[in-house]
Amino acid sequence: MTQNKKKVNWSELCPELVQCVFERLSFTNLKRGRSVCSSWRTALRGCVPKRNQIPWLILFPQNDNNNENNNTSCVLFVPEDRDKTYKTRDLGAYFVKSSCVATYGSWLLMLDTLWNLYIINPLTGERIDLPTTDYAQYERPSDIKPQDLVACLWIDDISKDYLVACVMGYPVFTKKGNHSWRRISSRYGEGRYKQMVYQPTSQQLYVRRYYNYPVKVWSFSGDDPQQVSEDNYPPVEYAFWDFLSKDKELYLKEEEFYVKEYVDSRLYIAVSTVSGQVLKVVNVLQKFKRWRFLVYKMHPVELTWEVVDSLGDEALILDMGITVVAKDIPGIKRNSIYFSGLDNGSTNPDHIFVFDLTTHEIEPLPQCVFSSVRFSDARWFFPGLDA
């Protein structure tokens, strides 16, 4: 007796079962699931994939005559799916005219043409408007451009609690529930600010300044930020000129290195989400597209910067100023630096890469990333970050 096998219609699966399966999978698998059929697309509309553990690259559309198709979506590159890119939802012309100045998790801190700031999630379209800035209310210095704005962002994905700090002539901050920007007081004068990094676990804001100023640190554990002693973080600029002293071969060719081979350089600070340790990073671009990176940590006794040979099982997301766990996680390389260029990659896609600190080699991104759209800016960000 022959038993007839009933043909399965996968589109008729219980929506709750489809959600239960796909919320355990990655973002890329969730995107594939939504394209199977209309019933799956409906079932997965509110589904959130498992917590992401790898950085993504986001490419911003151009806001000029080169944007022929009036593209108002961003392109996403997810390293675990190397041969494919994804597009965000339509984010609108207002978004295209804005500039990204910081990221945290799935969220972007954007600066509009009137110099007001807002927070937006490009994956969901959710937006949070921030109080009007002084630069929007009053005349700002004519030589300041959007890319010059120093800012940082932290936001909780669940509660939507947030903290935004930036420099509008002097450091200011706002957080959920505030209706204005509040000035961050400094006991040692203002100085010129270059970079901000917020560490949510310790609730401390680290600020790097120009020249030989120490790193400033403020604690946000109370109602009002309190400045922490600068004695623990000496000037970050000194060690830049020690770059060659750590490499005997280059030290002997100092003149050749700086005069003949040197093209450009940058200096950064970063905070480990694992240990809370503050790091300093120097990168130098030489001729013939040669890149060099040095990472420093603070000596606990002598309080001087010393070279770190390895990040161990962590990876450095330089755009965010943080390191993250990278051990045995597909799609992220341990002991590597995720870099988006000296100018966020907007003028040279070849400057967007992953730098392996073990081999001192760069890993370029697949060509499909840059052939998919003409872009104005690029940043590594970390959807789902919980640090």
Is 64's pLDDT higher than 70? no
Average pLDDT in the 201-214 region? Answer: 83
Q: Say which range, 18-32, 194-208, 250-264, has the weakest mean pLDDT.
A: 250-264
Q: Between 301 and 325, whose confidence is greater?
A: 325
Label residues 83-111 b or e (16+ Cβ within 10 Å = b). Answer: eebbebeebeeebbebbbbbbbbbbbbbb
Burial class for 64, CB neighbours closer than 10 Å (0-12, 13-18, 19+): exposed
Tell me the C-alpha to C-alpha distance, in Å, between residue 279 and each of 53, 247, 276, 303.
22, 20, 9, 13
Q: Which helix or strand (DSSP H or E) is residue 367 part of?
A: helix 367-371
- For 385, residues 6+ apart whose C-beta sits below 8 A from its C-beta are 52, 104, 105, 324
Residue 340 structure tokens: 């988006």
Three-state SS for 148? helix
Q: Give the number of other Cβ atoms within 10 Å of residue 35's Cβ.
A: 9
Is 302's pLDDT higher than 90? no
Is 361's pLDDT higher than 80? yes
Spatial distance between the Cα atoms of 114 and 136, rounded to a whole number of angstroms = 6
What region does 113 belong to: left with phi over 0, alpha with psi -120 to 50, or beta?
alpha
Is 307's pLDDT higher than 80? yes
Q: Say which range, 132-141, 161-170, 179-188, has the weakest mean pLDDT.
A: 132-141
Residue 169 structure tokens: 């002539």
Q: Between 298 and 94, whose confidence is greater?
A: 94
Minimal CA–CA distance to 79: which of 104, 52, 56? 56
Please report the beta strands in 88-150, taking only residues with DSSP state E, as ranges in sequence order.
Answer: 99-104, 107-111, 117-120, 127-129
Residue 360 structure tokens: 């001192």
Is 364's pLDDT higher than 50? yes
pLDDT of residue 179: 94
Confidence of residue 135 (pLDDT cuts 50, 70, 90): confident
Minimal CA–CA distance to 87: which of 71, 66, 99? 71
Confidence of residue 373 (pLDDT cuts 50, 70, 90): confident
pLDDT of residue 235: 63
Confidence of residue 174 (pLDDT cuts 50, 70, 90): very high
Q: Parallel, antiparallel, or unpaired: how do β-strands 322-325 and 262-272 relate?
A: parallel
Mean of all residue pLDDT scores within the chain: 82
pLDDT of residue 238: 44
Average pLDDT in the 201-221 region? Answer: 86
Q: Give the number of other Cβ atoms within 10 Å of residue 303's Cβ.
A: 11
Average pLDDT in the 313-338 region? Answer: 94
Is 321's pLDDT higher than 90? yes
pLDDT of residue 190: 61
Highest mean pLDDT among 65-79, 80-94, 297-311: 80-94
| pLDDT tens digit sequence for 231-279 | 566 666 544 444 545 554 544 444 554 556 778 888 899 999 999 899 9
Is 136's pLDDT higher than 80? no
Is 88's pLDDT higher than 80? yes
Q: In what order do the strands lie in the sheet with 56-61?
A: 86-87, 75-77, 56-61, 375-381
Confidence of residue 8 (pLDDT cuts 50, 70, 90): low
Indicate the angle between helix axes 15-22 and 27-34, nearest 10 degrees: 150
Angle at 155 between CA 229 and CA 22, to 5 degrees: 140
Long-range CB pairs of 224-229 (<8 Å, 24+ gap) are 225/173, 225/184, 225/185, 227/185, 227/186, 227/187, 227/188, 228/204
Give this prediction's pTM: 0.84
Dihedral angle of Cα 365, 366, 371, 373, to the nearest 10 degrees: -50
Average pLDDT in the 31-39 region? Answer: 76
Residue 99 structure tokens: 């500039």
Q: Say which range, 64-73, 107-116, 143-152, 285-294, has the weakest mean pLDDT.
A: 64-73
Label residues 202-237 b or e (16+ Cβ within 10 Å = b). Answer: eebbbbbbeeebbbbbbebeeeebeebeeeebbbbb
Highest mean pLDDT among 131-140, 322-331, 341-350: 322-331
Q: Say which range, 113-127, 180-194, 240-254, 261-275, has the weakest mean pLDDT.
A: 240-254
pLDDT of residue 239: 45
Average pLDDT in the 164-182 region? Answer: 93
pLDDT of residue 252: 45
Q: Between 8 and 262, whose confidence is greater?
A: 262
Three-state SS for 296? strand
Is 3's pLDDT higher than 60? no
